Structure 1
């Protein structure tokens, strides 16, 4: 009752134990093992026949040794808890730094430089030209107080980096009031393409597209039926108007089940006339759940879609299948809106 068994797998430890046992007049580990087998102290279970590991008999600590052992256990436990708290604190700090860098990158990517503005162009004309790409936060036109006219350049700041990206891709080289506009990122944005790619990768937005300039009378289900022509859609969400929650703000996000479907939708639906307005479609850079807090809960409660559902219509018997690339909007009659 005063002894317990500890398994020792390495040979140096076994040799040291054998020396210790024999010096105290006790049999070595092999002899102990043979004695136990003869006295049937070792049962023959599922591991019978395998090579047995050497074992040693160590006396259970008592008195002061037991007190020191308990103190050592408490110290190890406290040290383990302290290290776990340090790791958690470091993780929280890293996450905060990542969120700060992400917010800073999104802020930089939301600004657009506009040059080559003609003297006949005013602030209202610029606002109308750049409004279709998304919610605009500010329009700062360089003004010459001496000559009382603008300096031929301006800075447009959007609420979303997606809007700025679409504005640059669509408005660079466009003629406005007889002058060709030069639209680009501001000079203080380092490696914008890499910043966009990092944000997309971090947010897992490879299969998500940004859609803006949506007609105010269109609903999410109608917009979804149009974009389902390119592949199965996980969700279609239009950002609601905070002042009128029953209406949307004219932009939103669509997530596909595959990256290829998102690429096809961006290539085919950008500048598509839907309800008398040209849709603007590009890559999603902002996580939609940050704009619509209820979206994450809705997706978590969304039932799994049957594997057989494809989002495309089968051909009628005796009728040819739809042509490759034919949009669902034409089949549903949305071109008449």
Structure 2
């Protein structure tokens, strides 16, 4: 009868390998588990046990602890606990003469900004050069956002200058913060609230109110189409009876893929003054000299295809109809 060999190993080698880890590796593994499960209290308990057991801590341990604390910087229930242990972990790291890296500096800056101490966050960020740590934009974000939220314009611009000196470029979130956080009435940081008033823009893009020059207009095809319908509807409403407006859009969207724009002869000049460009080249036959409406190459629109030119006939209500061809819509 066969007997099992006494050399046979029935222990799982993978499990044995995990149990043979040193205390430092076990502590780091458990910290990473706490980070995945977002368990701050468990990580703090492990940190206390590691200190009691005199476990040798390294930079990876402190980075994991600081990162976990920074994730709770905006949590109302755990914010105070996270800030308390952030200070304790930072002091412990300094006592062990462990230099911070980019990850630890970013975490400390987030926690400092969370409690409104932008000055301390900025001082921490500026120490990156002392440790030869390459700067990253995300490291400066908490400090910049903190100053912008507190409307401390001069300090926010100092952070911007520091970012530029480090060879980094601002992205949309940082630019929006410096511009007042977008359109909510605050205006530029340090420049006061927006002033709303009507004004005109010259053909070269110069504003007649503030004197600034418009660089470009960022508008997509969908917005362009909406603008076209609203503008033409406004022209139609100004010259026709209100009850005819309901059939206006139906006249533009025919089953054959053509568009029809009713225009009064007296409104043609006003139509050109508004700067609206029709796709293709259209001739308008009226009593006056025919007017040629050219396609504006600067306007990007899905209907800008080769349009057919047709001669228009005057109707009984002194209006003319212009018909152009556009591409069929995809199903």
Aligning the two structures, in what range does the TM-score lie when normalised by the shorter sequence? under 0.3
Larger relative helix fraction = 2
TM-score, structure 1 length as denominator? Answer: 0.24
**Greater relative contact order, per chain length (Cα 8 Å cut-off, separation 6+):** 1
TM-score calculated relative to the size of structure 2: 0.24
> Which has a greater percent of strand?
1
